[in-house]
Amino acid sequence: MKKRYVWLLLGLGFGPAQAKVNWIEKPVEHPAIPLLDENGRHVLESGMPYSPRKSCAGSGCHDYDKITSAYHFEMGRDEARDDFGKFSSFLGAKSLVSPGWFGGFNCMGGSIPTFLANKKNGYKEMIRDYGAAGFINCSSCHVGGGFGEKDREGIRYTDRDPNTIPLWDGDYYNRGTDENNQKTDKSVVAKWDWHKSGLLEADCMWCHMSPDEVNLPDERMSLRRGIIGAYRNARREFISGGWFRYAANTAWEFVPTVDGKQILTIERDWREGGESYDLKTGEDGNPVIHWNPEAFDENGRVHVKMLRFPESDNCMSCHLTSNSRRGFYGYGDNARMELGEDGTLVEDYQDDVHKGKDLAKYWHGESRIMDNCNVCHSRAYLKTRHENVNLDQDHNFMKGNSDMDIRNDLDFSADLRTCEYCHVEGRNPRGEPAVIPSGQDTLLAAHLERWKNSGYMTGYSEQSLNRVVQTHFNVLNCQTCHITGKKGRGGKPLQIMYRYRDDVDQKRKIIPYNPRLRYLWIDTTTGWTLTRYERGLVARQQVDENGEPIKDGGNFVFDIVDPETGEKLPGTVLGRVSHGSIRLGDPTDADGYRSLKRAYDKLMQMRHGPQLQGRTPDVKMVWLESNEYIISHNVRPAVDSVPCGDCHAQKQDGSYSSLLKEDGILGSGNRKDVTTLPDPKLVEEGVVVLGMPYMRIDGDGNIYENEKDILFTTLVNPFMTVNDAPESRFFGGFLRKMPLKRVTGLSGLPPELVKQYGQRYGEDTPLYALVPRYGKASLRKTIVALPVNTVTDAVAPKWRAELLLFPRSAELKKLLNDRGFGDLASDVIHVSMLDDHKRAMTDLFGNRLIVKLPYRGRAGDVNGIDVLMSVDGREIHRVDPQDIVDFVPATQASGERLPGSQVSNPDLDVQDGYVIFLADQPGFFAVVDR
């Protein structure tokens, strides 16, 4: 059947766009590039792999370190700390060392994920599944830079003095490789030779090569995931082989010169059948590569075309997992809506109503088709033709409150293109009103007219209609109603669940998501999560009389054994052997669960005595949601949005009740099945733990969640990952330059005070500041900042501020009272300022720290308080009263309640005041009543 594209269907009212091509998306010839190796020599002279750092930064064009400080490169390295997971209230986070892919939950592994070792490890057994090198070795998705180049202290691995490397340092020791970087038994832990492997530098071309301009080096390479997917597979061969310095060179085999010459040839030994290959190595054990002198000009430079911004195919070469997580398939041509011959919409779960719309009316008058990910996620994408190129452009893609807590300090950046950005606020340089597809003046009026015409408002008085619509706006994110019919990979329907999340304006609203369900075996005594390697130490593969492995379906059958004696325990467990380790699945019966607990308790005693310190281990299977995969793409047209009847019951007269129905998508009838245990008593016995507050188990052993419980829980604590950021005692982030009006606005000050400070100090006065969006209430109301001057401009962007809250406990109150400091009237906040090597800063180079703390005491003016400060937590002194910049007393909150009025919020019983003061250095800070 022939189809034609839809350009006007419930769109922005723009004209046909298929004939238009965005100039900014066309590949352009990059200035000629000299390809230099890691020693700064030309590759034609040395024959060595090229170094992106030396070629891109050494040429004097790009600030390589600034570019690779973005979170797609770092993936949590710059936020890592060994105690990171201990700030979460959830058991499943205790062993995590960062919020990102490097040190947090990675994308694969299901219920037997791999874990990164701590930086500091007291004994060999503490090295988890991987050190930093092993993690890189398994990271085909990582673009390089970040943890591919630098350790957790910000030092390039090859620059570290070997004599200063502590024993069992997780950045320099690895499990499963020997001292020559060769794979060996997983019981082996050895130092990794970084000089031999080289560093995984940033692969600029992976994002900046055009799929239309690259060549497949060998037709035997698989194109199942497109040519960019083939590129990812090709570079992975270098990484998995431990040849990190070679990975980025793959680009020069795929990307030709502008006159069609291949720049590099990589030698391969193809296996019989031509479906796979090994990289051919030379006498030195390194891959054999050949640079083509004909591809370089007379000055030793190559001329190639590049993209200014990545295409959707480049993004999806890594984000392909979104197919099954979120039902998202990218923003390529398959996202375009189509009509059939009869003029009706062809149903396609991959479509997005925005695809193909032209922003010309709203963006400087020039055509700009909404055709790829950059429209919403790239800050500089909407620049005009006459604007200069920023060679050191910030590579942090704009993001909201997502399902990974990486760089939470960047959430909801100033120009993030949310639904409200275009459809409510109407933020555009031409001064056009907000985009209302149906032509009404406001979004509220548009929804009201549609709902009235659809009969949804029958039975409601005319005076109540606006209020009904506004109530939905107050409680629901746009995506909740406008994303439906999602399907995972293979077309399997995706069950959409809903939860509360704090939005861009810090309002708590319902959003659709898909939970990442998994279980871990965790020792509840120490918080230690058993690693994939450790979990396999209690299993012995069953074999038949011929010595052949016994299988059950597609899995092998393993006996469960005592790790000390080798004695067979009751029950069996299914699993498989992969990459040199046993990957256990679920036990086959209830005895298997009990035996695994018994075996793991013994294993903890054998391996982790130093952590137990004489205590008794208590290992449990803990079911949890590691991440709540937000569903934000594939927005459907209004005709396909969620109908009222999916949430609300219909009365006998045909009108809709204002109450939610139990069997609706927001009621208890929307049930997510987690797993089925062979015996529900496993929960009663403490073998299995339901690790989320809304998990339930029925009499048949079915563990499940229902929507009503999820909404009730997340209304109080809208966490998006097991890291539990909204209730954490910790928040960290890099200092960012922002105007005073944004600092005060983000800090939650009332609008009148924001205006007052703007008038007093100048609303555009810049500061380097950290304003927490997450954490316990007192943490979210704290600010740390530095003035902007030539000194801070040079150093502050590389500084990271970290805040740690100590609650106003009876012990702290007594301590301060006994020492004559008065009554504690705030939580205690510890402020750390770290340089780019994570060294604690005590000298701020003549600058003074600006601190705002919330205040909950009885004083009515500044004469009734003191601000206390301590550098080490022992010696305490009062801050000079002359350094107190401002004080606002606490007030009663008049019984204010959370959205939905379902639960009271104790933090709102008293409206916090605050104190703003200056300090000479970071440390512990608190406010007391005299």
Helix, strand, or coil (residue 65): helix
Q: How confident is the model at residue 727 (pLDDT cuts 50, 70, 90)?
A: very high
Q: pLDDT digit string (tens) for 177-199? A: 999 999 999 999 999 999 999 99
Question: Are 822 and 805 contacting, i.e. CB atoms less than 8 angstroms apart?
Answer: no
CA distances from 252 to 45, 213, 871 (A): 17, 12, 53
pLDDT of residue 794: 94
Radius of gyration of the chain (CA): 29
Closest C-alpha among 854, 841, 831 to residue 924: 831
CA distances from 426 to 223, 429, 447 (A): 42, 9, 17
Contacting residues for 736 by C-beta, under 8 A, at least 6 apart? 409, 768, 769, 770, 797
Beta strands in 728-864 (DSSP E): 730-734, 736-739, 766-770, 783-787, 800-806, 823-824, 828-834, 849-855
Residue 580 backbone class (left: φ over 0; alpha: ψ -120 to 50; beta: rest):
left
Q: Which of 69-78, 648-657, 794-803, 901-910 has the lowest mean pLDDT?
A: 901-910
pLDDT of residue 106: 66
Instruction: Report the C-alpha gap between 404 and 382 in whole angstroms.
Output: 26
Closest C-alpha among 517, 451, 439, 504 to residue 477: 504
Percentage of the residues of the chain whose pLDDT score is greater than 90: 73
Q: How confident is the model at residue 385 (pLDDT cuts 50, 70, 90)?
A: confident
Q: pLDDT digit string (tens) for 584-606? A: 889 999 999 999 999 999 999 99
Give the pair of three-digit tokens for residue 256. Answer: 């030709």
Residue 571 has pLDDT above 90, yes or no: yes
Q: Which string of DSSP letters, residue by residue, matches 641-697?
A: SPPGGGTEEEPTTSPEEEEEPTTSTTSTTSEEEEEE-S-THHHHTTSEEE-STTEEE
Residue 681 has pLDDT above 90, yes or no: yes
Q: Residue with structure tokens 């609303």? A: 763
Q: Is the pLDDT higher at 731 or at 421? A: 731
Burial bucket for residue 337 (CB in 10 Å: 0-12, 13-18, 19+): buried
Closest C-alpha among 524, 517, 515, 563 to residue 540: 563
Report the Cα 31 to chain-centroid distance in Å.
34
Determine what percent of the chain falls in helix, strand and coil, rounding each to the nearest 5: 25, 25, 50
Name the β-bridge partners of 918: 850
CA distances from 506 to 226, 553, 898, 911 (A): 40, 49, 12, 17
pLDDT of residue 654: 83
**Average pLDDT in the 890-899 region?**
55
**Average pLDDT in the 901-915 region?**
61
Q: pLDDT digit string (tens) for 143-167? A: 999 999 999 999 999 999 988 999 9
Q: How confident is the model at residue 900 (pLDDT cuts 50, 70, 90)?
A: very low
CA distances from 876 to 172, 261, 821, 869, 873 (A): 39, 69, 9, 6, 7
Instruction: Report the C-alpha gap between 854 and 409 in whole angstroms.
Output: 20
Instruction: Report the C-alpha gap between 176 and 843 in whole angstroms.
Output: 42
Question: Are 319 and 397 contacting, i.e. CB atoms less than 8 angstroms apart?
Answer: no
Residue 481 has pLDDT above 90, yes or no: yes
**Average pLDDT in the 102-111 region?**
81
Sign of CA dihedral 104, 108, 111, 117: negative
Per DSSP bridges, beta strands 551-552 and 865-870 are unpaired
Residue 741 burial (CB count, 10 A): 17
Residue 364 backbone class (left: φ over 0; alpha: ψ -120 to 50; beta: rest):
left
Name the β-bridge partners of 541: 558
pLDDT of residue 896: 42
Burial bucket for residue 790 (CB in 10 Å: 0-12, 13-18, 19+): exposed
Give the pair of three-digit tokens for residue 860. Answer: 């009515």
Give the pair of three-digit tokens for residue 207. Answer: 């994002």
Question: Are 891 and 910 contacting, i.e. CB atoms less than 8 angstroms apart?
Answer: yes
Closest C-alpha among 200, 203, 211, 204 to residue 316: 211
Residue 362 has pLDDT above 70, yes or no: yes
Instruction: Report the C-alpha gap between 682 and 196 in whole angstroms.
Output: 50
Sign of CA dihedral 87, 91, 93, 95: positive
Q: Is the pLDDT higher at 505 or at 169? A: 169
Instruction: Report the C-alpha gap between 891 and 913 in whole angstroms.
Output: 7
Give the pair of three-digit tokens for residue 223. Answer: 């194109």
pLDDT of residue 368: 86
Beta strands in 465-507 (DSSP E): 497-502
pLDDT of residue 754: 86
N- to C-terminal Cα separation, the chain: 81
- Average pLDDT value for the chain: 91
pLDDT of residue 10: 34
Percentage of the residues of the chain whose pLDDT score is greater than 70: 95
Burial bucket for residue 653 (CB in 10 Å: 0-12, 13-18, 19+): exposed
Q: Which string of DSSP letters, residue by residue, matches 744-755?
A: HHHTT--HHHHH
Residue 583 has pLDDT above 70, yes or no: yes
pLDDT of residue 261: 97
**Average pLDDT in the 570-579 region?**
86
Q: What does the DSSP 8-state code read for residue 384? A: -
Instruction: Report the C-alpha gap between 725 and 402 in whole angstroms.
Output: 11
Residue 7 has pLDDT above 70, yes or no: no
Helix, strand, or coil (residue 45): helix
pLDDT of residue 107: 61
Helix, strand, or coil (residue 851): strand
Contacting residues for 828 by C-beta, under 8 A, at least 6 apart? 805, 806, 808, 812, 924, 925, 926
Q: How confident is the model at residue 580 (pLDDT cuts 50, 70, 90)?
A: low
Q: How confident is the model at residue 321 (pLDDT cuts 50, 70, 90)?
A: confident
Residue 59 has pLDDT above 90, yes or no: no
Return the H-helix or E-strand segment holding 795.
helix 790-795
Instruction: Report the C-alpha gap between 670 and 306 in whole angstroms.
Output: 48
Q: pLDDT digit string (tens) for 767-814? A: 999 999 999 999 999 999 999 999 999 999 999 999 999 999 999 999
Closest C-alpha among 422, 408, 203 to residue 317: 203
Residue 4 burial (CB count, 10 A): 11
Report the Cα 433 to chain-centroid distance in Å.
33
pLDDT of residue 893: 59
Closest C-alpha among 871, 868, 880 to residue 929: 868
Question: Are 827 and 892 contacting, i.e. CB atoms less than 8 angstroms apart?
Answer: no
